Every structure is written in C-alpha cells, then in structure tokens.
C-alpha cells in the first residue's frame, strides 16, 4: 500500500500535457494558454480624453476658479472615434468626449462640470489644471510588443477582454482531455431502466462525468460493463479511444472484482493498486496503450474522493495547469474525531469562515456508500494516517472542494456530533 503523495507523484510523473488547438474568444474561458501573446499595438493607440470636457492648454487656465473663470474660444467639437481637424492654439478649446484622441496643441482636459458654455464659440473654464490632466496616454495599458498573457495562464473574463483589446480573435490553448467513464457491476442499471431486485442505479458514471466537466475535461460515458472479462474487455477497448480511462468498481478483492485482471490481460502496465487512504483504498493506476487508466473503487464516495485526489490533478496537468491541487487551509476542528491508525482519512466536512479563522465540522455519516455526505460536504478534513484521535479545538488541514460560507451554516447547529468516527 502506498501513501497518497507517492500515488499522486507516481501518476503525475506519467501524465503529459495535451496538444494545443486554436479557439475563439468565446471558447477560451477556463482554458490554459499554450502560447505567449504579444500585442502588435499600443493600447490605447493614442493619447485620449479620460472624460467629457474641453481639451485646452493648461497654461491658458492658470488661476481659473468659479470666481475668476478663463474664457476660451471653442473651435471644434469631437466625439470618440473622431480626430480633430484643427490644431489647438493659445486661448482655444475643443469640446471633447471620453475616448476621443487629444487634439494637437492641447495638453489637458477640463471636465465639463467645471465649465460653462457661454455661446457657440465661447466657454468659461472654472478650474486650473496641470499639463496631462484627464489625458490617458498612448500605451498606458499595453506597450507594442509587450507580452500581455503568458503561456500557462488560465484564461478568464479579463483575459478574453485583453485579447480583444489587442485585436486577437483566436488563441492557442491546451486541448480538453476526453475522459472515458466505465461503470462495472452486475447489479447496476442505467437511468431510464427500473432496478429489479438486488439492482441499483449506476450513479458513479454521472458523478464522475460531472467531476470531469468541472475539471475541464470532456466525459464520454461508456455505460456499464458486467463482471466478466469479455464484457469488460470490450468496454475497456472502447475507452482507449479517449485520452484517459476511468473505471469504477470491481477493483477490490471480491470474487467478481475483475477489472485489474482484465486490464492486465490487455497489457496494462499497473503501477499500484492500493493507497493508504479512506475512503478509497483500492485504486488501480496503470498505463494501457499509452493511456492512463484509473481503476477507481466502486463505493460512490470512494469513487468521488479518489477522483478528487488523483484524476482531477491529472486532468489539470493535461490541460497545462500549474496549480494542480485544490486550496487547503488550516481550520479549527469543532469536535473530537477518532479513527483507527494507519490509513489517512479524508473526512467529509463543512468548513466555513469564523471571524479571522476557519472552522470545520465533520458530516455525521461517513460511510463510503453515503453519497449524502458528499452532497453536504464542501471540504475534506485530512486526518493523518498514523493518528487516531483529533481533539476538539485542534488545528487540522482542510481541503476546500467548493464554495465556503462566510459564517456558520444554520443546519450545522442541529447535527453537532459529540464525537465523529470516521
Ligand atoms: P465493487 O468494488 O464493485 O464491489 O463496488 C463496491 C460498492 O459500490 C458496491 O456496493 C457497488 O454496488 C457499488 N457500486 C459500484 N459501482 C457503482 C456505480 N456505478 N454506481 C453506484 N454504486 C456502485
Ligand atoms: Mg462490482
């Protein structure tokens, strides 16, 4: 049995980033940039007005105030997108709108609220300004040739705006990995069929597909393979068309746990198959026909936690991410936790901000079949392998899986457990 870290390292050593593809800006959010993007032009392209007002020479309005306005001759009016025809001379002003290029000869803008138009060709200025006032300089945002976004950047709304800002309509990003998902088990029926006696719905495929989507991959559902080598072989072969294959179930020590042996028969190079953790000890990782294959455990919570710890970082690495792991924080445990030593437990929990610190409380039902614990949880307390007791109030490491409330959620009050066995 190997540690979680050894398992993660062994997997990530083998995972390679995908190739790249070009996408339009509407498809870029969430993708990782696979090129350095330089701007061919300055942004803004020319000096322009930061506000609606009058372009003028600072020198001409020295000492201006409400009591002692300066009178200037209005020689032109320009809106954004229009270049002034005239060069501004002493004693002159050009009415200007936000974004319009600063006319030659002008060196400042006074905002319109600090002026009064006396007639068509005369304006009174009530404010003295310095040279450069209310002028946005060419290249202030982006210099020509500047790298505005570098390789490895995760693209978001601001990046999309920046790409458009410099006129780039398409960029190279890492491809999304296609992830084949195979459920295994005689007892499973898929949605749309009714479970007979002894049968249950296949839930793992859907939880995994959602996890794949959330991690930026493209899930490909392979359906359900029955617990025999032939059916497993057929489905696994289908899965090898994808970039990565996930199976769930059939990977433990039961009489019908045939996933490992079937993969082995196909030539899978198995790296390990048990990890010192709970939930999710049986977890077979190998490489088959050059594709990473994850044999995840069948219990729904084990499946999801194993995905979190091993598959998600792999998918992120394939997409060019640098940060492969969820954020983790130190939190105050609200109650004692006990377990038997030797395996590390990932305790489904609710973490929330409590003033300046984090507090965390375990969900009461920790069974690896209790999917409800995952529905309620927003975090996992890391209960170290060789410890068996965590006291109330102790500081624990917590992996944050999703949104965390900024105060204690109401429903937690009712279910405060005296002691949670995980
Ligand atoms: P196994 O490792 O195949 O024995 O599966 C362990 C447990 O997980 C059994 O109770 C299975 O019924 C359950 N299980 C396996 N696969 C799925 C699935 N796709 N959806 C829901 N439960 C499953
Ligand atoms: Mg099974």
Give residue 411's pLDDT band: very low, low, confident or very high (50, 70, 90): confident
**Once rounded to an integer, what is the mean pLDDT over residues 380-409?**
94
The mean-pLDDT minimum among 63-77, 199-213, 244-258, 404-418 falls in 404-418
C-alpha 279 – ligand 1 centre gap (Å): 13
Instruction: Count the alpha carbons within 13 Å of 331 in the hemisphere toward its beta carbon.
Output: 27
Query: Which segments of 360-401 does DSSP mark as H helices, in order?
Result: 371-376
Beta strands in 308-393 (DSSP E): 328-333, 337-338, 344-354, 357-362, 379-383, 389-390
**Once rounded to an integer, what is the mean pLDDT over residues 180-208?**
97
Closest CA to 331 of 383, 278, 381, 402: 381
Residue pointed to by tokens 């792991």: 325
Cβ atoms within 10 A of the Cβ of 145, count? 10
- Ligand 1 neighbours, Cβ below 6 Å, are 183, 185, 187-188, 200, 202-205, 248-250, 252, 254, 257, 297-300
C-alpha 298 – ligand 1 centre gap (Å): 4
C-alpha 349 – ligand 2 centre gap (Å): 27
**Once rounded to an integer, what is the mean pLDDT over residues 350-371?**
94
DSSP-derived 3-state class of residue 174: strand
Q: Atom of ligand 1 at shortest distance to CA of 248?
A: 16
C-alpha 360 – ligand 1 centre gap (Å): 29
C-alpha to C-alpha distances, 422 to 32, 43, 80, 307, 346, nearest whole angstrom: 37, 57, 65, 19, 8
Lookup: tokens for 193: 């069929």
Instruction: Give the C-alpha separation, 213 to 192, whole Å.
Output: 22
Instruction: Give the C-alpha separation, 251 to 265, whole Å.
Output: 14
Q: Atom of ligand 1 at shortest distance to CA of 249?
A: 3
Q: Using one digit for the tens of pLDDT, what is the confidence trace for 16-29?
A: 999 999 999 999 99
Ligand minimally distant from the alpha carbon of residue 295:
1
**Once rounded to an integer, what is the mean pLDDT over residues 223-242?**
98
- Structural element, H or E, at residue 189: strand 188-189
Give residue 384's pLDDT band: very low, low, confident or very high (50, 70, 90): very high
Task: Please give the model's pTM, rounded to 2 decimal places.
Answer: 0.92
Instruction: Count the alpha carbons within 13 Å of 395 in the hemisphere toward its beta carbon.
Output: 4
So what's the pLDDT on residue 122?
A: 98
Q: DSSP 3-state helix, strand, coil percentages of the chain (rounded to 5)?
A: 20, 35, 45
**Which among 202, 249, 305, 369 is the best mutation to test ligand 1's pocket, defined by most ligand atoms within 8 Å of the CB?**
249
C-alpha 186 – ligand 2 centre gap (Å): 7
What is the full DSSP assignment across 252-302? SSSTT--HHHHHHHTT-EEEEEEBSEES--EEEEEEETTEEEEEE-SSHHH
Q: Atom of ligand 1 at shortest distance to CA of 187?
A: 12
Residue 412 has pLDDT above 90, yes or no: no
DSSP-derived 3-state class of residue 205: helix
DSSP state of 60: G
Residue of the CA atom closest to atom 17 of ligand 1: 298
Q: Atom of ligand 1 at shortest distance to CA of 252?
A: 2
Lookup: tokens for 353: 């901000």
DSSP-derived 3-state class of residue 325: coil
Ligand minimally distant from the alpha carbon of residue 181:
1
**Once rounded to an integer, what is the mean pLDDT over residues 372-394?**
96
**Which among 185, 203, 232, 255 is the best mutation to test ligand 1's pocket, defined by most ligand atoms within 8 Å of the CB?**
185
So what's the pLDDT on residue 147?
A: 98
Cβ-based neighbours of 319, under 8 Å, separated by 6 or more = 17, 18, 31, 32, 174, 175, 176, 177, 216, 217
Average pLDDT, the chain: 96
Ligand minimally distant from the alpha carbon of residue 247:
1
Q: Atom of ligand 1 at shortest distance to CA of 224?
A: 19
So what's the pLDDT on residue 419?
A: 54
- What percent of the chain is predicted at pLDDT more than 90? 94
Instruction: Say if CB 378 and CB 350 are below 8 A apart.
Output: yes
Instruction: Give the C-alpha separation, 122 to 92, whole Å.
Output: 9
Give residue 403's pLDDT band: very low, low, confident or very high (50, 70, 90): confident
Lookup: tokens for 352: 């929330």
Q: Atom of ligand 1 at shortest distance to CA of 203?
A: 20
Residue 422 has pLDDT above 80, yes or no: no
So what's the pLDDT on residue 417?
A: 53
Give residue 184's pLDDT band: very low, low, confident or very high (50, 70, 90): very high
C-alpha 369 – ligand 2 centre gap (Å): 13
- Structural element, H or E, at residue 212: helix 204-214
C-alpha 8 – ligand 1 centre gap (Å): 23
What is the full DSSP assignment across 107-145? -EEEEGGGEEEEETTEEEE-----TTTTEEPTTSSB-TT
C-alpha 239 – ligand 2 centre gap (Å): 18
So what's the pLDDT on residue 420?
A: 63
Residue 65 has pLDDT above 60, yes or no: yes
């Amino acid at each position: 049995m190997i540690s979680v870290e050894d398992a993660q390292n062994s997997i990530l050593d083998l995972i390679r980033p995908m190739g790249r593809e070009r996408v339009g800006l509407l498809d870029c959010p969430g993708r990782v940039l696979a090129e350095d993007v330089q701007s061919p032009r300055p942004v803004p392209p020319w000096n322009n007005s930061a506000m609606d007002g009058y372009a003028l020479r600072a020198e001409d309005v020295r000492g201006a105030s409400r009591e002692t306005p300066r009178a200037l001759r209005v020689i032109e009016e320009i809106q954004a997108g229009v270049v002034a025809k005239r060069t501004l001379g002493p004693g002159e002003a050009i009415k200007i709108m936000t974004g319009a290029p600063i006319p030659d000869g002008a060196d400042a803008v006074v905002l319109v609220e600090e002026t009064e138009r006396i007639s068509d060709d005369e304006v009174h200025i009530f404010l003295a300004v310095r040279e450069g006032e209310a002028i946005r300089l060419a290249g202030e945002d982006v210099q020509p040739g500047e790298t505005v976004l570098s390789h490895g950047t995760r693209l978001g709304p601001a990046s999309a705006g920046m790409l458009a800002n410099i006129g780039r309509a398409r960029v190279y990003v890492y491809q999304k990995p296609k992830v084949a998902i195979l459920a295994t088990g005689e007892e499973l029926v898929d949605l749309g069929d009714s479970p007979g006696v002894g049968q249950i719905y296949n839930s793992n495929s859907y939880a995994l597909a959602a996890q794949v989507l959330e991690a930026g991959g493209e899930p490909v559902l392979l359906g359900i393979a029955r617990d025999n080598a032939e059916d497993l072989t057929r489905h696994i072969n289908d899965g090898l068309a994808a970039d990565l294959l996930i199976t769930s179930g059939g990977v433990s020590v039961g009489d019908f746990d045939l996933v490992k042996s079937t993969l082995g028969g196909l030539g899978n190079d198995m790296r390990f198959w048990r990890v010192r953790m709970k939930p999710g000890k049986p977890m077979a990782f190998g490489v088959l026909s050059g594709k990473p294959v994850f044999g995840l455990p069948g219990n729904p919570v084990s499946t999801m936690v194993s995905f979190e710890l091993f598959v998600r970082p792999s998918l992120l690495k394939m997409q060019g991410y640098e940060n492969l792991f969820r954020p983790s924080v130190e939190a105050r445990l609200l109650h004692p936790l006990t377990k038997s030593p030797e395996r590390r437990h990932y305790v489904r929990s609710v973490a929330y901000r409590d003033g300046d610190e984090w507090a965390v409380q375990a969900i009461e039902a920790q069974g690896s079949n209790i999917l409800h614990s995952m529905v309620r949880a927003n975090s996992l307390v890391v209960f170290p392998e060789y410890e068996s007791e965590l006291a109330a109030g102790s500081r624990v490491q917590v992996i944050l899986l999703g949104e965390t409330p900024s105060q204690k959620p109401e429903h937690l009050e009712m279910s405060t457990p005296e002691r949670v066995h995980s």
